[in-house]
Every structure is written in C-alpha cells, then in structure tokens.
Chains A and B, each alone.
Chain A
C-alpha cells in the first residue's frame, strides 16, 4: 500500500512538471513577439492572435503527448514479461475511466474551438475604412492594382504600415492561393470569383508572398514580396507610379482617351482585355490588321468596318472558339461620334501586320 501511494505521488509529480513546462511556454508566448524561432516574423496585427492559438494548442498537445508516452514507457518497463508463459489479468475495462477520457478531451476541444472562433471573428471582420488592393493570380505571377489610385504592379506589393488593407483576390486561369506567411493570411484565388481577406501590417520590411495552391509547373516560382513602408514612403511610391502611368496615358490622343471613357462606362472590359489574355471575348491587343477566323471557318481582316460591325451587330460575324454572347451596342448606347473614339482607342492598342 505504502509503495503504491509513493508511486502515485511520483507520477503526479511528473505530470505536474510537464504541465508546468507547457504552461511556462504558453505564458512566454503571451507577449507579442516580433521574432521567435518557432514562427515567421509576426508582421501583421492578426499574427499575434494566431501565434497565441498555436502556443496554446502546442501546450495542450505537448501535455497529452508526454502523458501518453510517459505511460507507455512506464508500462513497458513495469509490465515486461520476465519468462515465457506469463499471463496478465483478466480485466476488461473501467466505465468511469472511459467516461473521463471521453469528456476531458471533449472539453478541451470545446475550449480550443471557442478560442479559435473568437480569433476567426477578428479575421473575418474586415475594417470598413480599409484601403483596397485587387490581387490577381495568373500562371505564374501575382498582379496588384491599387483601387483608389489606379496604380498597378506585378510581383511586388507596397503597403503602408499600420493601415488596414483589404485584398480582393481573384485568378485568371486556375486556382492559386495568396499567402503571406509573415501576415498569417492565406486566401485561394478562384477563377471568375472574388474573395477577400485583410491585414494590417505592424512591422516594416520585406516579406515573402507565396502561391500555396498547385497551379502548374511554375507553381514554386509564383513568388512575390510585400514591402511594408511608412505612410509617407508609400505615398511617394504611389505618386511615382501614377506619374509613370500618366506618361503612358498621355501618349493617347484626346479621341482615344474619350474612347477609353466610353469603353469603361459600357463595361467592355468585363469581357475584353488589352494585355493579350483571353477573357470571355478576344483580347484587343493588336486587334487591328489581324486576320480573324470566324466560326464558319472563313477569315476576315480586322479593319474599321469590321470592328464597327462587331459592336453594332456582334452576331453578324462571330469569332471562332468564342460564344456569340456579346451584347449589341446600338446608337442609343454608343453614339456615332463616340464609336469613332472607341475605334481610335482600339487602334491605339497596336496593329498586327498580316500578310
């Protein structure tokens, strides 16, 4: 009897010791850290909460891991058979114990779930005044568009410190996943559908962006960088980019500029692109002068008359491999004057020389 109480004492001491270490680890973690060997830099506000969940679960699971392993080793040493032919006891189980070890994990899981749900609430709660960046994934590159300023960039995303930022994420071709480990955010980019996520950076610096969904042979090269900078630095960068873009736009004639307005107003860009990629309809890049194959197999050289017809009566000639779904834009939508501007703009996108 005395021996068994001694054993129970030493076991409970051991368990206490384990729990102590686990709790110590957890207590440590409660201070926001900028660098820890266990985690990437906690560069966003939410990352501190996420890390705390990690440390909490780490403490709990470590406790159970050491508990079970301790018991296993203890039993292995204690109950090792010493000679052939020994039998254990004919003991089938214990209802009370069974109930305890059903309820204890259940309660712990509930606590973890509640805690996680609280943090998730924060993650899903997008601040209303956030700055918007549209993120597009395309095999194998990330594009960024700063909604308020119309500025665009590839691979590198600049963001100001301490400001909430919403990302509207979408893909052009297949599923990609936008992941910034330092921000603990990840959101799949779906084709034809937008999803949002947000963050607020709390550290300046450069942090890697990775694609986290297998998207083809270049998947592991689909990398990028977030540059978190002070608000003034960020404003300066935006300014610089705007000037660059303006310089480009100034290259357009007045008529082409008016054409661009019409096009934006009529929503043509929902189906057409100007960068060579295919959306619902064909791209306009280098449309002029190109020889287009129609769905009846015949060929037609793209000129002003063809483009005009494509807008006024789109189904008269339908481009091969595209559905005949382009709406008709009659004079009540685009006046004859405006259509000239539109043609001018499309022409400005480059001419293809066909034989």
Chain B
C-alpha cells in the first residue's frame, strides 16, 4: 500500500514510511488505509462465499469437509465480513478521502478521533476473526437471532458480539466526525445546495450511523447478558425473542441505507462528469437521500412479517415500506434522465455506474414484491430475499464502490489503471453476478429456503449453475487485482484532472497535497455546471497547488 504514495506538499517531495501510515491523522491516508483494509476483507468475504457455493454445488455431500455446522459458520461470517468489514469501512474510506476535499476543508473535524475509528476497525475485525484462532466461530447468522445465538454452544457468539460492538463504536465515532466535518468545515460559498451529492449522501449516512447503531449495541449486549449472566431478556420463559428482532431491525433497516446511500452519492458524481451534463434534478436527489434516511427508521418490521408480531402492524409497515420506495424510484429516473442529451464517455467509472443503475433497479423492483405482505409471507427467508439483497448490496453497493474506485484512484495515487482491464473486470463481474443471483429469485419462489446447508435434488441443477456464476465473479476480481498491481508498477501518470471534472477534489494535484488547500477556495456555483463552454467555479483553488484546468475542449482524453 505504501507504493509511491507521496505527499506533494510545499516542503517538497516526501515519501511516506510505515510509521507515517500507522500514526497518521491525515484524512487522505486514513481514507486509503480504510479502503485497503476493507478490500482485504472483500477478498476474505468472497472466499467464504465461494466455499458456500462449493458446498451447495452438490446435494447430499460435504465437499471439502464443509459440514452443516461449518456451513452455518460460513454464512454468518460471510454476511458479517461483507457488511461490517467491507462495505461499511470502504465507504468510510471514500468519505474520509473525498469529503474534506469536496467541501474545501483541510482535514476532518477531529483528525485523532478519525485515526481512532480506523484502529477500532482493525481491533473489531481481529476480535471478529479471533474464533479462527481460539476455536469456535459464530453460527447464528449475521442477524444473531435470539434465542439460538444465546443457546449456541462455544465462544462463537461471544467473539461475534464483541467484534460487532467494537466495529459499531468505530462507525459511531466515524459518523460523528463526518457530521461535524460537513456541518462546520465547509469552505466559503459551499452552501448546502452547492455541496456535491456525494457529500449529501455521506451526511445522511453519517446520521444513520449515529442513530441506528446504538440499537444494535443494546441488542447484542443483552444477548451477552443472557448468555453469561443468567438474564432472560430474549430467552427462557419470561424472555421475548421478538424484542431482539425489533431492536436488531431498528438498526438493520437503516443499515441497508448506510450500505447503499454512499453508492448513490458516487453514481451521482460520476454520471454528470461522463455525460458532460449537470445532474438531472439536483435537489430531488439530495432530498430523496434525506427522506430515505428519515423514512428508513419506520420500516424495520418488514423483516418480521412472519415473525409473529401483531398482525395489525403489518399493514402500516407495508405502507411505510412502499413509501420509502418512492424516493428510490425518483433517483433512478433522475439518473436515467441525466444521460438525456448529454455527451456520454464510456470510461470504466461510467460503465460501472451504468451497471449499478441496471442492477440496483432490479434490486429495488424485487423490493416491491417483498413489501407486499401476502407474497412476503411466502418468500420470507428464501432465496428470493437472498437475490433481492444481493442485487441491492452487490449490484448496488459494490458496483458503486468499483465505480468510485475507478473514478478516484487516479486522484488518490496520481496513477492511471488500464481502462480495458477495468472494463473486462466489469463485464465478467456483471455476467457472473447475474448468473449467480438472478436464478435465486425463481429458486426462492419455488421453495428454496435460505441458510440451508443442503437442498433437495429438485434444486441441484440451478445450484450448480449459480456456483459456476460465483466462480466467474471470483475470477473477475483477479483481473482487478492484476490491474491494481499494473497501475502501481507501470501505470501512467494520471494528471490532476483526467476526467475534467468540476468538483473541488479534481482542482488539486494528484495525489493532493497534505494540507489540501493552502488558502480556502471560494465557491460561487453548484458542482455540476457542465455543458457550458467556459465558466470557472472555483476562485482561488489554484493556491492549493493544483493547476487550474478549464480547458474544456480537451474533454476527456484519457
């Protein structure tokens, strides 16, 4: 990770040592640490997923010695790693690196708290993985439903609970930091309505982190008490197993938006740049993020339609779930309309962003099926649900992440990757993804239950097909890794603004100087004024060392 990352500050060229990385409080280094760590766990979570797919490829056998006990550990860790150790931290990384630059700040509001958040991520991850060494992995699913999580023998649930607590604190501290940074550190002229949409999305995400995670904290602490202190919050004759689910999903549904809103923000950044046109309906997109965040706190029981919660609550929760679908639909229409009468350049970030729209669209539409209580009763806890949330979280969040990586990597490292490899990565992932997850809709409807270590022979063909798809996806990630190796070793210099983007981070050198802006830039217009022959929007940004680049007839050349 150290490879040639340089601080191009006024004191000259200074190559960072490993000490600098460990003790850094600079938002850009912390951002890169976050992204690198998260990507490592993406690979871990991916291997766990492939092991699951191997087990499911054939019925009636324990391939590779994966018994049903081990399978339950795989599903638990896969979900946990992907959510808490890949998607959440990688977005924290993006927010760290990009948001202060975008709003014209020198750093985060609390740089040392920021470093603490990162190191808590490492500690939490180590705790979460400690079962591998201590013997005993969690096996109650990433939802840790009581009372099975309480009764499950061994230390698995304990390592999970402790790990998730620490990861939760990391996220809460991060959230507080993001909120204060966005509220207090904006440069002159950067009004709320001139903030790039990624900043809007980050702000809402941060608010959700701070408001939602405490519910999880409480829920899993009580599980811990039930396990070791003999309390009966969720277990025993007086315990209320549904209380756990209510607490968990009060966190769990906003969590879904924590995982997807930053991707919305990333795509909203990329589309205007590569369509050379302002985003369609800036305010609609910004406010829909905010309303998704708010309404998202009132839909949690849609995860519990079959749980035995009071029947009369189901209709209100169905309605609120439908309502939260509206701002989501609005976004999709706005993104599509952004392309209208633009001039589209199909560089890797754009291709990934368009893939995001298509797949997230499917994930959103399958959500409508699930909102309808009578149909949800049938498909709850089946592969239909698995398909739905992978379209949202992989097709949505992860495609958004790769779009963002390909967009900002040149800014982070000053080097350019291979566009062709990035597109090969896209197509293989896209095809493998659909092979794996599209058939799951149908499998679920036909009766394939979720979290089964073995399915009957009636599902064996479809399972084999999905496993093949998963390996296609796995292969695709090797292309990405190779592309990164190539970029760090031989990648050409990217230049300060290879995409000719108008947001602030691109007005600086690549990588940006340690202190970002020597004198705070002054903002005079919105972030997406494309389609004009000229029109400087940043006064004084040049002071930060980045060359001013308003030479628009160059367009996107690389």
Within 8 A of B (CB), among A157-191: 173-175, 177, 179, 181-182, 184-188, 190-191
Is B493 an interface position by the 8 A CB rule? no
**Residues of B contacting A217 in the complex (Cβ-Cβ under 8 angstroms):** 67-69, 72, 139, 453
**B306, B446, B530 pick with most chain A CB within 10 angstroms:** B306
Is B343 an interface position by the 8 A CB rule? yes
Is B405 an interface position by the 8 A CB rule? no
Docked-complex contact B326 and A80, CB < 8 angstroms: no
Docked-complex contact A72 and B357, CB < 8 angstroms: yes
Q: How far is the CB of A261 from chain B (nearest CB, A)?
A: 26
**Residues of B contacting A71 in the complex (Cβ-Cβ under 8 angstroms):** 336
Q: How far is the CB of A272 from chain B (nearest CB, A)?
A: 14
**Assembly CA distance A53 to B306 (angstroms):** 17
**Assembly CA distance A97 to B357 (angstroms):** 19
Docked-complex contact B365 and A64, CB < 8 angstroms: yes
Docked-complex contact A49 and B374, CB < 8 angstroms: yes
Is A76 an interface position by the 8 A CB rule? yes
Is A305 an interface position by the 8 A CB rule? no
Partner of B277, one of A89, A98, A102, A185: A89
Is B481 an interface position by the 8 A CB rule? no
**Assembly CA distance A102 to B236 (angstroms):** 48
Docked-complex contact A220 and B452, CB < 8 angstroms: yes
Docked-complex contact B276 and A193, CB < 8 angstroms: no
Partner of B449, one of A87, A94, A211: A211
Q: Give the residue name and chain of the B residue nearest to A47 (CB).
A: B378
**Assembly CA distance A69 to B336 (angstroms):** 9
Docked-complex contact B343 and A116, CB < 8 angstroms: no
**Residues of A contacting B147 in the complex (Cβ-Cβ under 8 angstroms):** 173-175, 191
Partner of A88, one of B141, B319, B450, B530: B530
Is B475 an interface position by the 8 A CB rule? no
**Assembly CA distance A46 to B374 (angstroms):** 9
Q: Give the residue name and chain of the A residue nearest to B345 (CB).
A: A81
Docked-complex contact A220 and B455, CB < 8 angstroms: yes
**What per-residue 1/0 map shows which CB atoms of A101-125 lie under 8 Å from chain B?**
1100110011011001101100110
Q: How far is the CB of A28 from chain B (nearest CB, A)?
A: 16
**What per-residue 1/0 map shows which CB atoms of B135-157 lie under 8 Å from chain A?**
00001110001011001100000
Docked-complex contact A75 and B336, CB < 8 angstroms: yes
Is B540 an interface position by the 8 A CB rule? no
Docked-complex contact A181 and B278, CB < 8 angstroms: no
* A65-B361, A212-B382 known; A57-B375 Cβ under 8 A: yes
> Which size class do B's interface residues fall under?
35 or more
Docked-complex contact B306 and A216, CB < 8 angstroms: no
**B283, B311, B373, B532 pick with most chain A CB within 10 angstroms:** B373
* A79-B275, A120-B374 known; A212-B380 Cβ under 8 A: yes
**Residues of A contacting B452 in the complex (Cβ-Cβ under 8 angstroms):** 219-220
**Assembly CA distance A191 to B148 (angstroms):** 11
Q: How far is the CB of B219 from chain A (nearest CB, A)?
A: 15
**Assembly CA distance A53 to B325 (angstroms):** 18
Is B13 an interface position by the 8 A CB rule? no
* A53-B375, A90-B530, A98-B284 known; A68-B332 Cβ under 8 A: yes
Is B47 an interface position by the 8 A CB rule? no
**Assembly CA distance A141 to B343 (angstroms):** 62
**Residues of B contacting A210 in the complex (Cβ-Cβ under 8 angstroms):** 447, 449
* A64-B365, A188-B306, A214-B451 known; A90-B531 Cβ under 8 A: yes
Query: Measuring CB to CB, which residues of chain A are less than 8 angstroms from any residue of chain B?
Result: 38-40, 46, 49-50, 53-54, 57-58, 60-61, 64-65, 68-69, 71-72, 75-76, 79-81, 83-94, 97-98, 101-102, 105-106, 109-110, 112-113, 116-117, 119-120, 123-124, 173-175, 177, 179, 181-182, 184-188, 190-193, 195, 208, 210-221, 280
